[in-house]
Structure 1
Amino acid sequence: MPSRFPRLPHSPRTAHALAGLLAGAGVAHAAVPRLFDQIVPRSLPGSPRTWTYLSGAAELGLAAAVAHPATRRLGGYAAAGLFVAVFPANVRMARDWRDRSAPLRAAAYGRLPLQAPLVWWALRVARDAER
């Protein structure tokens, strides 16, 4: 059955690049949590800082899972789920930043369509790990 996803070269570099992106995001959550606190949906219970640290820890854990061949398949699928789960925070950021400067607005709105390729990338990594 043909795949609906474009073919990528089967290479651990693709998975390692995704792991690097996830690790960088996880470190950023710890290094500059205030930026992430601002976009945590207020409908979530508890402190925004708690959600910031939890999501950063999840990204670091997923980075490790994607980087390791034995856990890459599960890590890829879980990363795709995380990218879908954080979409509401990106929507909130775009909505909250609509009165900011043009470059900040562009960054906030630019994040929205980037979620789809991130989901696709994570799914591709997971499916490549099945071979």
Structure 2
Amino acid sequence: MIRAGMRWLLAAFYAIAGVAHLLRPAPFLSIMPEWVPVPEAFVFWTGIAELFGAVALAQWFSQPLRRAGAVGLALYAVCVFPANIHHFALDMTRPDGGLGLGYHVPRMFAQPLIVWLALWTGGVTDWPFRRR
């Protein structure tokens, strides 16, 4: 019951983020590292990836599709981590400190948790709750 609820919550989070990437790309473009080619395309396709992942994770009729969505969202969270680090570095160099350490430090620690949460809610892993 908890796993299903968390799965729906994570799917909703990714769906909202996907829509935000598509409708309001400016904040995402502002934190994109300079070495990323065609940043507009990256923001667009990351939004599409979030939406597809959210739909796959939320559905109930196909466990293989749910697992594929979970793996996709976990990989996605790993792949966008450089943008999170870049955003952290940009903010810390601003005279006003940007969003500050109170935002960025928990965000850095949350990223591995989000990876695990996608895999756990999608049924890819039972760790650390595996029954013995």
- Give the TM interval when normalised to the shorter protein: 0.7 to 0.9
Aligned residue pairs, count: 121
* Equivalent residue number for residue 4 of structure 2: 12
Equivalent pair of 2:7/2:58 in contact (CA under 8 Å): yes
One of 95, 115, 130 as aligned partner of 2:89: 95
Equivalent pair of 1:80/1:123 in contact (CA under 8 Å): yes
Aligned AA (1:126): G
Superposition pairs of residues 19-38 of structure 1, within 5 angstroms:
19-38=11-30
Would the alpha carbon gap of residues 91 and 80 (structure 1) be closer, same or farther in structure 2, given more than 3 Å must change? Answer: same
Superposition pairs of residues 66-77 of structure 1, within 5 angstroms:
66-69=57-60, 70=62, 71-77=65-71
Would the alpha carbon gap of residues 86 and 102 (structure 1) be closer, same or farther in structure 2, given more than 3 Å must change? Answer: same
- 1:115 is displaced (CA, Å) by 0.3
Unaligned runs of 5+ in 2: 127-132
Q: Secondary structure at the match of 2:99?
A: helix
Q: Secondary structure at the match of 1:81?
A: helix
Q: Deviations over 1:87-124 (max 9, x none)?
A: 00000000011125356123234321110110110110
Residue 50 (str. 1) matches residue 41 (str. 2)? yes
Distance in 2, matches of 1:54 and 1:23, equals 13
Equivalent pair of 1:10/1:128 in contact (CA under 8 Å): no
Question: What is the TM-score when the length of structure 2 is the normalising length?
Answer: 0.81
* Equivalent residue number for residue 121 of structure 1: 117
Q: Identity across aligned pairs (percent)?
A: 31
Distance in 1, matches of 2:35 and 2:98, equals 28
